[in-house]
Structure 1
Amino acid sequence: MLHLLLPLLLFFSGVRRSRSAIVESLPGFPGHLPFILETGYVGVGELEEVQLFYYFIESERSPEDDPLLLWLTGGPGCSALSGLLFEIGPLQFDYSNSSENRPVLKLNSYSWTKIAKIIFLDAPVGTGFSYATTWRAYNNSDMSSAAQSYEFLRKWLVAHPKFLTNPLYITGDSYSGVIVPTIVKEIYDGNEAGREPPMNLKGYVLGNPVTCEAKDISQRIPFGHKTALVSDELYESTKKDCNGDYVNVDPTNGACLTDLEMVSRCLEKIFLGQILEPICSVISPNHTRLKWSRSILDETIINIVSMPQQSRPWCRSYNYLYSYIWANDRNVQEALHIREWDRCNESLSYTKDVPNSVVYHRYLSKTSLRALIYSGDHDLAILYVGTLDWIRSLNLTLLGPWSPWFVDGQVAGYSILYAVGIKYNLTYTTIKGGGHTAPEYKPKECFAMVDRWFSYYPL
């Protein structure tokens, strides 16, 4: 293996080395961490002007054999620390024992690191702890972000050659539904062209994925009708008056605009991420709007920092305040070897130049890769009905009926399996009761899902 890496090592020797460190303890967590955590920066792009920050966590089961995942959080611009602390990582906040000034961490019983090694990457530049050394380098797009993430992975694997033979999966959720398949294509094409290092790419995993924002948003009204948020009468009227198009609305079509206003009133108090929860937004301690996904509906901003605690209605967003307090603590930043942090950077200089990522899924369906796509079925931001529509548009071969799968004797979701010959296969599943994104709401079910899928078992 070493002789294959020598040309690449010589090439990279002319640029700055990656900076990394092993973190053995963290403020808020009692004692030493019971897993291996490495943090660091890898320089990418021209003159390594972009410095991408990562958290790497070893598998707690069999590091030699378990798959390696590259994880990207959505946004664009939301930190990978969100995925680590609120979704699939080994740590989470202990809300019952935390206070406003003293967040406490505990272990996550359903961490995906129990079965896989995970690189949580802050991408694109300007996300989380990633930064650029010039203002020009902060200008980014879907395509350039994917290319930089691919370059990051190449350099990271050169620095960690023992993981080159592990099965590799590119994973993420929300807006990374645009970026992940683009990266997968980069890796696949790179392997075909003989680029070093060769990667043992096996497939990709996407949760609640953005694919085409306009089409994703257009599904909110049909989904609202399916879930009884919009009445039969209003749905039929809106569908008729708007000719089935709820995004590109003719401004002179008064009947359609009136219907859409009534639909907005039906949905205005509902949290887009979980239809069973109330809507609310907050101002973070540094007065940055705390919001993980963009919405066509305006949200009321509540400064809960100055609001008396006894008068606060509960909202999920309040949980996220702990991440601001914790990640911007000087002791935490010294432990992680990083600088100032923002959960979701709303001021990115970012161009969305991949209007529809289905073209990449269609390309990848001609390969021998595997794909797992999952959706929380209570997500009003990126609807499962829209995701199922674009999967069907790939015209894959259906291998079995839409059917339930179970965890502890309870329905955990409904899944369906597609394939192309004996090569490519795609599993799609809903997560019953899950929101945006599903692992935050249903960690046990999502852990069972990936544990079975990575092991090539039926859900």
Structure 2
Amino acid sequence: MGVVGFFNAIYYFMFGGIIGYHLKDQIGVLPGQPNVNFRHFSGYIDVDPNAGRSYFYYFVEAENDPLNRPLTVWLNGGPGCSSVGDSFVGAGPFITTNNARGLKRNPHAWNRVSNMLFIDSPVGSGWSYSNTWSDYLAGDSSTNDDLVTFIRKWFERFPIFKYRELYLGGIGYAGHFVPNLAKTLLRENNETRKYEFNVKGIALSNPVLRLKLDLLAEHELYVSKGKSPNKLYQQVLKHCNGINEDNYSDDIIPWSKLCQLPMSKSLMVAFNVSSLSEAKKRQFDLRRTQCDGKIEDLNSGKEVTKIDDGVDMCLPLRTDFYFNIPEVQKTFRGNRTNSRFHWKGCFQQSGLNYSIFDKDMDMLPTLKEILLQSVPVTIFSGDEDGIIPMTGTLKHVKKLAKVMKLNLTRNETWLHEKEEGGWVYSYENNLLTFMSVKGANHHVPMSKPSEALFIFTNYVITPSMLIE
């Protein structure tokens, strides 16, 4: 155990339930929940009491030895998707039963190896809200300020975790949230000359890093898979030529109509639909078909599930249903404003209006600042994702490595349970790592949960295991 572990154990025994934890936020048993050997907590933290702006969170202890396990903050993207809700389709301890009225254990939950903190951010995501309508005009800066305030206040409630090894991770647009948060926490350490935030690494799944290039990569991907004709792709390149890999500008220049037209056509052709909105829904997964169940089916007591290539595509729908059960909301202590909005995992009608300018920001300089402080960055992407294509993200990683003159130290397939899991590129012995995940869609923890847990365990929180 060691000296540190011994004193942690004593502290936990004496103060864990008194000072180290905020027991008022402890959840008893969620409706339909199986018995577990760990505690979980949820509640609100007021990030701006004057404005009435509050963030909702869900915290889950590690299954074993939580005092000696790291703390991981997980953020969903969108912007506008609930991180708390996402925990029930990915990395969290539970997933819904087929009738969505109960829960079962997630065998690939990340709290097997880490304490997990899920935060609904920004306002308008999940149960986070504000009483000031201007707060719903959010952006990267305001969201980051709120997250920093939240982290500080959360540590006041759970001081036992304050100096724990801290990992920050997320999916999609969290490719902005997570690096911005990591950069700020590291800067505060340097400016105050105090080691307040023990940031040990960040993990990004299918992240938005350079959005305009990601959009172009979509159409390159469709051509490579034979889903869209090269003629349309050439039109996209011709009319959207303001952006390229070597010259990504933060100057916000909207796509011209001449550019948007072939993009829209290419997208609809790729998915063989006449509606652009329908095509965008299908980008989530290039291999599998969408869930065809409906909330009405669950209301009538039916079981709703659709297993396609080993993935239950109806899991997000059932999660939406479960989170709208009044007893669930009461047990979570969520929706304290008694909102009439139907809870949705993503993009509920909350009034969130996120800055379109921030979405196009280049995140490579921020990642560079993090890497320069020797904080490892692990990026993993599903190769069946049509929203943020793996091929585009790999180009960003290679660009970053080139700019920083990082040496490529690993370039090979990686194995999971004796089978190929994908490809791994590692720079400077795991300082910067990119991994493709074979057969995974935009949501790796949902579509390849075993592989996601393997990556998190072996490449994120224990990278020293892989140093050659």
TM-score over 0.5 (shorter chain)? yes
Q: State which drifts further: 274-283 or 129-138.
A: 274-283
Corresponding residue SS for 1:165: coil
Q: Which residue matches 2:13?
A: none
List runs of 5+ in structure 1 lacking aligned partners.
Answer: 1-17, 286-303
Residue type of the alignment partner of 1:277: R
Query: Equivalent of 1:382, from 384, 388, 400?
Result: 388
Q: Which residue matches 2:11?
A: none
Instruction: Mark the CA change 1:165 to 1:230 in structure 2 (over 3 Å): closer, same or farther.
Output: same
* Kept in 1: contact 2:42–2:56 (CA 8 A): yes
Residue type of the alignment partner of 2:270: C
* Kept in 2: contact 1:234–1:263 (CA 8 A): no
Once the 2 structures are TM-superposed, how far is the Cα of residue 21 of structure 1 from its aligned partner? 1.6
Q: Distance in 2 between matches of 1:281 and 1:87?
A: 20
Q: Which residue matches 2:466?
A: 458
Corresponding residue SS for 1:27: coil
1:278 aligns with 2:281: no
Q: Which residue matches 1:342?
A: 344
Corresponding residue SS for 1:157: helix
Residue type of the alignment partner of 1:94: T
Q: State which drifts further: 33-42 or 353-362.
A: 353-362
Q: Which residue matches 1:84?
A: 87
Q: Distance in 1 between matches of 2:412 and 2:67?
A: 34
Q: Which residue matches 1:433?
A: 439
Corresponding residue SS for 2:135: helix
Once the 2 structures are TM-superposed, how far is the Cα of residue 352 of structure 1 from its aligned partner? 4.1
Count the aligned residue pairs: 414
Q: Distance in 1 between matches of 2:39 and 2:159?
A: 17
Instruction: Mark the CA change 1:23 to 1:195 in structure 2 (over 3 Å): closer, same or farther.
Output: farther
Q: Which residue matches 2:127?
A: 129
Q: Which residue matches 2:7?
A: none
Residue type of the alignment partner of 1:351: S
Q: Which residue matches 1:298?
A: none
- Determine what percentage of the aligned residue pairs are the same residue: 25
1:413 aligns with 2:422: yes
Q: Deviations over 1:81-117 (max 9, x none)?
A: 332110100101222xx2xxx5221001111110001
Q: Distance in 1 between matches of 2:206 and 2:138?
A: 23
Q: Deviations over 1:165-216 (max 9, x none)?
A: 3110111111111111111111011111127781111121110101122221
Once the 2 structures are TM-superposed, how far is the Cα of residue 359 of structure 1 from its aligned partner? 2.2
Once the 2 structures are TM-superposed, how far is the Cα of residue 368 of structure 1 from its aligned partner? 1.6
List runs of 5+ in structure 2 lacking aligned partners.
Answer: 1-21, 244-252, 274-278
1:52 aligns with 2:55: yes
Once the 2 structures are TM-superposed, how far is the Cα of residue 446 of structure 1 from its aligned partner? 0.8
The TM-score normalised by the length of structure 1 is 0.80
Q: Distance in 2 between matches of 1:431 and 1:206?
A: 13
Once the 2 structures are TM-superposed, how far is the Cα of residue 237 of structure 1 from its aligned partner? 4.6
Q: State which drifts further: 261-270 or 392-401.
A: 261-270
Q: Which residue matches 1:13?
A: none
1:71 aligns with 2:68: no
1:25 aligns with 2:29: yes
* Kept in 1: contact 2:219–2:266 (CA 8 A): no
Corresponding residue SS for 2:317: helix
Report the RMSD for the aligned CA atoms in angstroms. Answer: 3.4
Q: State which drifts further: 395-404 or 106-115.
A: 395-404
Q: Distance in 1 between matches of 2:95 and 2:299?
A: 25
Q: Deviations over 1:235-284 (max 9, x none)?
A: 6754675476799766568xx95696356313345621110123579986
Residue type of the alignment partner of 1:376: G
* Kept in 2: contact 1:69–1:118 (CA 8 A): yes
Q: Distance in 1 between matches of 2:299 and 2:114?
A: 41
Q: Which residue matches 1:41?
A: 44
Corresponding residue SS for 2:215: helix
Q: Which residue matches 1:12?
A: none
Query: Equivalent of 1:446, from 432, 452, 459?
Result: 452
Q: State which drifts further: 129-138 or 197-206.
A: 129-138
Q: Distance in 1 between matches of 2:169 and 2:119?
A: 11
Q: Which residue matches 1:300?
A: none
* Kept in 2: contact 1:143–1:353 (CA 8 A): no
1:283-432 correspondence runs (5 A): 318-339=314-335, 340=339, 341-346=343-348, 347-354=351-358, 355-356=360-361, 357-394=363-400, 395=402, 396=404, 397-419=406-428, 425-432=431-438
Instruction: Mark the CA change 1:251 to 1:173 in structure 2 (over 3 Å): closer, same or farther.
Output: closer
Q: Distance in 1 between matches of 2:156 and 2:200?
A: 19
Q: Distance in 1 between matches of 2:225 and 2:440?
A: 14
Q: Distance in 1 between matches of 2:262 and 2:60?
A: 51
Instruction: Mark the CA change 1:119 to 1:352 in structure 2 (over 3 Å): closer, same or farther.
Output: farther
* Kept in 2: contact 1:371–1:426 (CA 8 A): yes
* Kept in 1: contact 2:421–2:451 (CA 8 A): yes
Corresponding residue SS for 1:86: coil
1:265 aligns with 2:269: yes
Q: Distance in 2 between matches of 1:330 and 1:361?
A: 41
Normalized per residue, the structure richer in helix is 2
* Kept in 2: contact 1:73–1:82 (CA 8 A): no
Q: Distance in 2 between matches of 1:130 and 1:236?
A: 40
The TM-score normalised by the length of structure 2 is 0.79
